[in-house]
Amino acid sequence: MVSRSSATRLGDLAKAVGAKLLGDPETIITGVGTLQAAKPGELSFLSNASYRRYLATTRASAVILHDRDAAGCPVAALVSDNPYLAYARTADKLFPRKTFPPGIDPSAAVDQTAIIDDSAWIGPCSVIGEGVRIESGVYLGPGCVVEENCSIGADSRLVANVTLCRDTDLGQRCLIHPGAVLGADGFGLANDEGRWIKVPQLGRVRVGDDVEIGANTTIDRGALEDTVLHDGVKLDNLIQIAHNVEIGRHTAMAGCSAVAGSTKIGEHCTIGGQTGLVGHLTIGDNVHFSAATLVTRSFTAAGYYSGNLPAMENAAWRRVVARLRKLESMARDMKFLKKTSKRPDEDR
C-alpha cells in the first residue's frame, strides 16, 4: 500500500476517468498499491506485461488494466486503452492536492514593491525581491528565494528551497520541486591568453504553462537571448539545461540528462536518463533518445535513436576498446589494399 485517501466509490472513479467498469460500482476504494502489495479496499493497475504474473493473486479490490487482461482479473476491473494514464487520473482524484490558507508567513522577507495576490501563500523563511509579481493561487513553500523582477503565474507551486534568479518568468500551474534553481548564470567564459574571463549572462529564463521541474535541476539564464521551456515540458531530477537552450512543448527528459548551450529541442520529444546533448544542435519534433545516449549532431527527423555501447564484462570491454583504438590504422590498411590489389579480370 502506498498511501490512503478518503473513501471513494469505484463507480465514481470509473466515470471520472472514462474507464469501463467490470464489477460492483459500490465497491469502496480507500487507497492505492501495487499488484503484489495491495490490500482489500485498495486500487492497483497493470500497464507493464512484466507484472502480469501478479494479477491472478492480487488482493486489491480493483485493478485498472487493458481489455486484453480483463479475463484474467480475479477482482473488479477498470478497463482502459491506456491503463497507466487512467491510473494517473484516478490517483489524482483519490489524492487531490492539499489546500493551503492564503497569506504570508511572519518569517518571510517580502520587498514592499512586490505584488502578491491575496490568495497566494508565502511560506516560512522565503525571500521575495523587488518588483516580483505573484499571481492567484501560488504556493511558495519554506525557504524559497524569488529575486527581483520575477513573475510566477497562477496556481504554480514551488515546493521548498526553490530559487528563481532575477527576471525569471514562470507560467501557470507549474510545479517546481525542492532545490531547483532557475536563472543562474550560464557557463559563459572567454579565454584571455590562458585566463578565463566571465561573459555576462544577460538573458532570462522563460517557462510556459503546466511545466514540471524536478528536484535539484538547474536551468541557466540565456547569455543574450532567453532560455525557454515551452508549455507542458517535464524535467526529472538532477537535469542541467544550459544557457539559450529551447525545449519544445510537451517534451520530457529523464534524470541526470544534460543539454549544452544553444541547442534547440522540438516538441513531444523524450530524452532518456543520463543522455547528453552537445551545444548548438537542432533536434526535431517527436525525436526520442534512449538512456545514456551521447548526442553530438542534429537529428531533425522524427524517430528513436541510441548511441552508446551497453555494459559488458570488464575483460571483454577492454578487448573491445583495444580494437577500437586500432580502427583508424585498419581503415588505412584497407584503403591501401583496395588501391593496390588487382581484380582477377584486370590482367585480361
| Interior angle at CA 216, CA 136 and CA 4, nearest 5 | 65
Neighbours of 306 (CB within 10 A): 14
Q: Fold identical between 3-94 and 103-305?
A: no
Q: What is the pLDDT of residues 60-96, one digit of tens each?
A: 999 999 999 999 999 999 999 999 999 999 999 999 8
**Inter-residue contact 172 to 164 (CB < 8 Å):** no
Q: How confident is the model at residue 345 (pLDDT cuts 50, 70, 90)?
A: low
pLDDT for 344 equals: 60
Average pLDDT over residues 190-208: 97
Q: Would the pLDDT of 348 be above 70?
A: no
Q: Specify the residue for cell string 487520473.
A: 89
pLDDT at site 4: 56
103-305 belongs to CATH 2.160.10.10: yes
Name the average pLDDT for the chain. 95
Per the CB < 8 A criterion, the answer to whether 271 and 286 are in contact is no
Beta carbons of 234 and 211 less than 8 angstroms apart:
yes
Per-domain residue ranges for the chain?
Answer: 3-94, 103-305, 314-341
Give the CB-side neighbour count of residue 229, counting CA atoms within 13 A: 33
Q: Is the pLDDT of residue 138 over 70?
A: yes
CATH number of the 3-94 domain: 3.40.1390.10
* 243 catalytic per annotation: yes
pLDDT above 80 for 2: no
- Please tell me the predicted confidence (pLDDT) of residue 239: 98
Residue whose C-alpha is closest to residue 134's, from 95, 169, 182 = 169
Q: Look up residue 4 and give its three cell numbers.
A: 490512503
Nearest-10 crossing angle of helices 10-17, 83-94: 120
Secondary structure element (H or E) that encloses residue 307, with its range: none
Active-site option among 66, 177, 230, 243: 243
Query: What percentage of the chain carries pLDDT values higher than 70?
Result: 97
Give residue-wise pLDDT tens across range 255-283. Answer: 999 999 999 999 999 999 999 999 999 99
Contact 108, 128 (CB under 8 A): yes
> Which percentage of the chain shows pLDDT scores above 90?
87
Question: What backbone phi and psi angles, to 5 degrees, belong to 317?
Answer: -60, -40
Based on DSSP, count helices (H) and strands (E) in the chain, helices before strands: 4, 38
- pLDDT at 7 (0 to 100): 86
Q: How far apart are CA 154 and CA 119, in angstroms?
A: 10
Query: pLDDT tens across 169-180, in order?
Result: 999 999 999 999
pTM: 0.90
CA 203 – CA 137 distance, rounded (Å)? 28
Pair type for strands 195-198 and 189-192? antiparallel
Q: What is the pLDDT of residues 292-332, one digit of tens each?
A: 999 999 999 999 999 887 788 999 989 998 998 899 899 99
